[in-house]
Copies of this chain bind each other. A is one copy, B any other.
Amino acid sequence: MRSPQVEPAAALPTSVTIYEVGPRDGLQNESAVVPVEVKAEFITRLVTAGLSTVELTSFVHPRWVPQLADAAELLDRLAATDLTGLRRAPVLVPNERGLERALDKGVTEVAIFGSATESFARRNLNRGYDEQFAMFAPVVARAREAGLAVRAYVSMCYGDPWEGDVPVDQVVEAARRLLDLGCTELSLGDTIGVGTPGHVERLVESLTATGVDVDVLAVHFHDTYGQALSNTLTALRLGITTVDSSAGGLGGCPYAESATGNLATEDLVWQLHGLGIETGVDLEALVSTSVWMAEQIGKPPASRVVAALA
């Protein structure tokens, strides 16, 4: 299989942690409901392909996300599976009840899903912008007491489908409040894929100017407007080394009329490997995993690299 010609660039990290969101964010946004054994195989194949950080599932109520209603059963299956190489295995929890279910299954890292805007907080969390922090506070406190790492997603950082432009200061405030609750990592989400590189620069520089350590920041771009990889490159130049992506580009975008969702892991890996940046990923094994998963859900992969290589 073809691989990129390696030509390093100035001012970039030597290695990047790919935070794989396909099994959770990807499958959550696909209309097909995937059987639990297929999910377990998907995750096993991702880990075998070298992805060492995989968000496994979500303990959200099945009424809201029927695609992930099998979270407990999936974790039981994975507990009986050899997942050598998996270093971080976070699970999304929406609230205290979700956290308790995750703790029962012995998870060591959870993620919460915050919003930078009032409109999305109301629609996605059924809470106001301010209220979300009160809802998250006991979740984060309990998780940290139990020794867990806690990632916080900050969604709608670059634009909101109902509010339009989102002020950078507002995103900084949301991010600071989530860190103040005790979160150990922030994933800055371009949930609708509208951001551009100068916007990334301004947001990241605004955060670090308030004293946020760049090491706690991750980026999460959707490719709805084709900007995800340029924005990622910009974030890498600013010192960020954790990048969210989804194998095969799995997961559409529920808030834009486009089939294109998360940045595809393969497209990211192609760029990183071309730049000589280590990821630990075997691209050939990853592409074959995404091709196999696309067959399971009956939809061609959104990843351009997969389309070119498969």
Closest B residue, CB atoms, query A270:
B225
CA distance A260 to B166 in the complex (A): 32
Contact B267 A225 (CB under 8 A): yes
By a CB distance below 8 angstroms, the chain B residues around A166 are 5
Contact B270 A227 (CB under 8 A): yes
Considering only residues 177-198 of chain A, those with a C-beta below 8 Å from chain B are 193-198
Q: Label chain A's interface by main secondary structure.
A: loop
Closest B residue, CB atoms, query A193:
B308
Contact A260 B223 (CB under 8 A): no
A interface residue count range (under 10 / 10 to 19 / 20 to 34 / 35 or more)? 35 or more
Q: Please tell me how many copies of the chain the complex holds.
A: 2
Contact A2 B194 (CB under 8 A): yes
CA distance A233 to B9 in the complex (A): 13
Q: List 13 A-B contacts (CB under 8 A).
A: A5-B194, A7-B196, A7-B201, A9-B197, A9-B201, A12-B198, A196-B270, A225-B267, A225-B304, A226-B304, A233-B233, A257-B307, A258-B307
Report A's interface with B, CB cutoff 8 A: 2, 4-10, 12, 158-159, 164-166, 168, 193-199, 201-202, 223-227, 229-230, 232-234, 256-260, 264, 267, 270-271, 274-276, 303-305, 307-308, 310
